[in-house]
Structure 1
């Protein structure tokens, strides 16, 4: 699946996090994107000053690290999207 660097693709990635147990936040700061667990709350923090391409690449990298199970999502479109993402190789 080709990676599309547009707002609708970013929205799809954000919807995956919205349907999961992780909370996605965009924060300003001088840091690299990543995810962390704060007081038993699972939070993914992305630098809000990243470009659209940087945000998408960071979210894809984090999704691969977290290794979500597509079957745990109720929405069939999200399941299909996650399955396609697992088959995508990110080359930076």
Structure 2
């Protein structure tokens, strides 16, 4: 899969989080992106001032770290997209 740094690709990543048990939020601040668990709620917080490329790379890193399983998604498109994402290796 070719990694595309477009708004459409970012929307697909955001839709994965919408279909998962995690809540995705964009917040301002001088922090590194990552994820945290607040009061038993699973929340992923991304710096809203990141560039489009930074947001996409961070979300892919978090998806890999959280080890999303395609079988946990009901939507076939989400399952296929996640399967393709798991084969991407970011080179920073």
TM bracket (short chain): over 0.9
The answer to whether structure 1 residue 5 and structure 2 residue 1 are counterparts is: no
Q: Distance in 2 between matches of 1:45 and 1:75?
A: 24
Gapped runs of 5+ residues in structure 1? none
Give CA-to-partner distance per residue, 1:44-75, whole Å, 9 cap, x none: 00000000000000000000000001011010
What RMSD over aligned residues (CA atoms) do the two structures have, in Å?
0.4
Deviating runs (4+, > 2 A) in structure 1? none
In structure 1, the residue matched to 2:84 is 84
Q: Distance in 1 between matches of 2:88 and 2:53?
A: 16
Q: Distance in 1 between matches of 2:19 and 2:72?
A: 9
Task: Give me the TM-score of the superposition, normalised by structure 2.
Answer: 0.99
